[in-house]
Structure 1
Amino acid sequence: MNAIEIRSLTKRYGKMFAVDRLDMRVAAGDIYGFVGKNGAGKSTTMKMVAGLATPSAGELVLFGESRTRVAGSFSGAPSRIGALIEEPGALPNFSAAENLMMKALAMGVVRPRAQVEELLELVGLDGTGSRKVKKFSQGMKQRLGLALALVGSPDLLLLDEPFNGMDPETTRDLRRALVRLNRERGVTIVISSHVLDQLMRVCTRFGVIAGGHMVREFSDEELHASCGSSVRVKTADPARALAILEEHLPGATFRVEPDEAIVVGGGARAAASAFGGAASDPASSGAPTVEDVSRVLHDADQVVLELSVLERDIEDYFVELMDGAPASSASRP
């Protein structure tokens, strides 16, 4: 089952389209990295999913139940969503525990005190006592916002730039807490962030939005396969060389470029090795090396004209995708 299915979702403000015919799929159990530039439509999309903004058009299905516009309002199934979008909604003159307790009581949480204590420990605020939120650092407020989003044990967690204002140690602790929530409780998590390095450490799938449109969705393995090392080779007989390489390197992937050069990659498994994934042993990853390609072609008496290693920077790849659509402020008829 998909936790979120979005079809042609649109949010229009006058003549301006913040989100324009967006399609998006988030499977239950995913940690989904939602990537885009400022103004691309990330926050607006998350607000519509959370029920905080009404779509102008399109369809939104949450856990198999459709949400529709009824009499000018946005209605649907009971909420199973926790959200931290933009600023944490905490009352500044109360402590973290008091803020959490008020929300827990308002939601009718069973054993609210136990849940408050658990959430304070989870986000690292269990030592704040009666200290008022207005005296918190930005990072502490972000952690409280996460705790507030988790009140009531939601099935879907929406986090908009959750790493803002956090030092490296706090960011690491939050990252671990999110992974634990996902693995131990099965919480589906959508994270929008400009900190690509942090997303790469936790996300299982990604969606890149530009100009209110979804540019591309892909898995962690597909991302690594696109950005991993590959070997580029040109020969005197490209067709014959390709057939030989395909026969002798069955675990590799192949692409022929316009100038008839052959690009030999190792697929997702090999790329995971290059990025420190599970296949950390290059000898078993299936990744072809320059030596592998050279030996195969030499043994087949192929004349090699060019041989080089290609590396693609993962940040450059995301930037390229984020530049792949018109600006979010564009208008249309």
Structure 2
Amino acid sequence: MDYVLRTNALTKHYKDFKALNGLTMNVPKGSIYGFVGRNGAGKTTLIRMVCGIQFPTDGSFELYGVKNSDPKISETRRRMGAVVETPSILPYLSARKNLEMQYDIMGMPDYNGIDELLDLVGLKNTGSKLSRDFSLGMRQRLGIAVALCGKPDFLVLDEPINGLDPQGIIEMRELILKLNRENNITILISSHILDELSKIATHYGFINGGQIVREMSAEELENECRKCVRVKVTDTAALARVLDGMDMEYKIIDDEQADIFASPNITKLAFSLWEEKCEILSVSEHDENLEGFFISLVGGGSNE
């Protein structure tokens, strides 16, 4: 598999605080990589580091196979665009003038492609309206248009749907999917709105305490979160023996709980367990979403 971004034990210290603590992650080419973590988990620090705004205390990363210590990394970063924290737009300029300004900064020879960019992000008909008068969703989409100047094939978005109304969220979702599917842009996106992220991500990286605790594809996540019957028993070893005998798929969670990926006959199951001197304490249907999976993965509490 080809990767756009790979990090190796990245560490970032701020006096006595470790924002990143040996973080290792892999963003596949062509993916929409959902970067999931609490506030303070290290998401923005990682993004700022990849963008060259901050530098690692230890460890390394590769962008398109070029190490961050290689002098060529600045040139390689021209293949990426980013919206970090807030869109980089000038409020007293129109959408077109903002893009012309970015073209000038990048030293591009002419303004060819600006109309196409405005159309792509749904801002073609804003005319001379100043960006300070745009809705939050329009400003976010203009920020993405600015990041797309120079036609990057890797886009980094830090909380792009934070604060948007339902219509703005839908428009942002459709834009991200279009950029990925039609323009072949790999996208790294961090978001607190996990239900929305689950509608677009093809891969996930779960970060906690400055470390990646799990990476997985959307298919793997779906398997983890599929519907099941959760049983609580006095002896999961006995439960495993019984379920093996019934040829049922299951997953032991801890000493008392297991998920059964089937619809067992509870009476038959209870009788078989009774023969193994094991009691059923509770039975419930279970259908975990992305938010529930994240909480079960990293636990409660906060990094802040």
With the length of structure 1 as denominator, give the TM-score of the two structures: 0.78
User: Does the 8 A contact of 1:31 with 1:191 survive in 2?
Assistant: yes
Which residue number in structure 1 is paired with residue 83 of structure 2? 84
Match of 1:126 among 111, 124, 138: 124
**What is the rounded CA distance, in whole Å, between the counterparts of 1:176 and 1:222 in structure 2?**
24
User: Does the 8 A contact of 2:78 with 2:150 survive in 1?
Assistant: no
**What is the rounded CA distance, in whole Å, between the counterparts of 2:12 and 2:254 in structure 1?**
40
Amino acid across the alignment from 1:139: G
Query: Once the 2 structures are TM-superposed, how far is the Cα of residue 256 of structure 1 from its aligned partner?
Result: 7.5
Query: Once the 2 structures are TM-superposed, how far is the Cα of residue 6 of structure 1 from its aligned partner?
Result: 0.5
User: Does the 8 A contact of 1:67 with 1:76 survive in 2?
Assistant: no
Deviations 1:182-219 (A, max 9, x none): 11222110111111111000001111212212222222
- Residue 290 of structure 2 is aligned to residue 289 of structure 1: no
Pair 1:225–1:154, CA change in 2 (3 A): same
Amino acid across the alignment from 1:130: S
Amino acid across the alignment from 2:119: E
Which residue number in structure 2 is paired with residue 181 of structure 1? 179
Pair 1:35–1:240, CA change in 2 (3 A): closer
The SS at the match of 1:91 is coil
Which residue number in structure 2 is paired with residue 272 of structure 1? none
Seq. identity, %: 39
User: Does the 8 A contact of 1:31 with 1:203 survive in 2?
Assistant: yes
**What is the rounded CA distance, in whole Å, between the counterparts of 1:256 and 1:144 in structure 2?**
46
Give the 5 Å matches for 1:55-74. Answer: 55-68=56-69
Match of 1:231 among 221, 229, 232: 229
Amino acid across the alignment from 2:61: L
User: Does the 8 A contact of 1:290 with 1:309 survive in 2?
Assistant: no
Query: Once the 2 structures are TM-superposed, how far is the Cα of residue 42 of structure 1 from its aligned partner?
Result: 0.8
The SS at the match of 1:202 is coil
Amino acid across the alignment from 1:258: D
Amino acid across the alignment from 1:127: N
Pair 1:128–1:321, CA change in 2 (3 A): same
> Please, which runs of 5 or more residues in structure 2 have no aligned partner?
none
Which residue number in structure 1 is paired with residue 161 of structure 2? 163
Which residue number in structure 1 is paired with residue 27 of structure 2? 26
Pair 1:303–1:195, CA change in 2 (3 A): closer
Query: Once the 2 structures are TM-superposed, how far is the Cα of residue 139 of structure 1 from its aligned partner?
Result: 2.1
Give the 5 Å matches for 1:251-262. Answer: 252-255=249-252, 258-259=255-256
- Residue 213 of structure 2 is aligned to residue 215 of structure 1: yes
The SS at the match of 1:201 is coil
User: Does the 8 A contact of 2:230 with 2:286 survive in 1?
Assistant: no
**What is the rounded CA distance, in whole Å, between the counterparts of 2:75 and 2:123 in structure 1?**
34
Match of 1:136 among 134, 137, 145: 134
Pair 1:84–1:240, CA change in 2 (3 A): closer
The SS at the match of 1:290 is coil
**What is the rounded CA distance, in whole Å, between the counterparts of 2:52 and 2:88 in structure 1?**
15
Which residue number in structure 1 is paired with residue 105 of structure 2? 106
Which residue number in structure 2 is paired with residue 311 of structure 1? 286
Which residue number in structure 2 is paired with residue 263 of structure 1? 259
Query: Once the 2 structures are TM-superposed, how far is the Cα of residue 88 of structure 1 from its aligned partner?
Result: 1.1
Query: Once the 2 structures are TM-superposed, how far is the Cα of residue 128 of structure 1 from its aligned partner?
Result: 1.2
Pair 1:208–1:61, CA change in 2 (3 A): same
Q: Aligned pairs, how many?
A: 294
Deviations 1:196-251 (A, max 9, x none): 111000001111212212222222122222222223466996465233222xx5xx
Query: Once the 2 structures are TM-superposed, how far is the Cα of residue 164 of structure 1 from its aligned partner?
Result: 2.3
The SS at the match of 1:6 is strand
Query: Once the 2 structures are TM-superposed, how far is the Cα of residue 150 of structure 1 from its aligned partner?
Result: 1.1
Query: Once the 2 structures are TM-superposed, how far is the Cα of residue 86 of structure 1 from its aligned partner?
Result: 0.9
Query: Once the 2 structures are TM-superposed, how far is the Cα of residue 107 of structure 1 from its aligned partner?
Result: 2.6
Deviations 1:143-165 (A, max 9, x none): 11111111111111000010123
User: Does the 8 A contact of 1:232 with 1:263 survive in 2?
Assistant: yes
Match of 1:321 among 292, 297, 303: 297
User: Does the 8 A contact of 2:250 with 2:260 survive in 1?
Assistant: yes
**What is the rounded CA distance, in whole Å, between the counterparts of 2:84 and 2:35 in structure 1?**
13
**How large is the Cα RMSD of the aligned pairs?**
3.0
Query: Once the 2 structures are TM-superposed, how far is the Cα of residue 43 of structure 1 from its aligned partner?
Result: 0.8
User: Does the 8 A contact of 2:250 with 2:258 survive in 1?
Assistant: no
- Residue 8 of structure 2 is aligned to residue 11 of structure 1: no
**What is the rounded CA distance, in whole Å, between the counterparts of 1:149 and 1:254 in structure 2?**
44
Amino acid across the alignment from 2:255: P
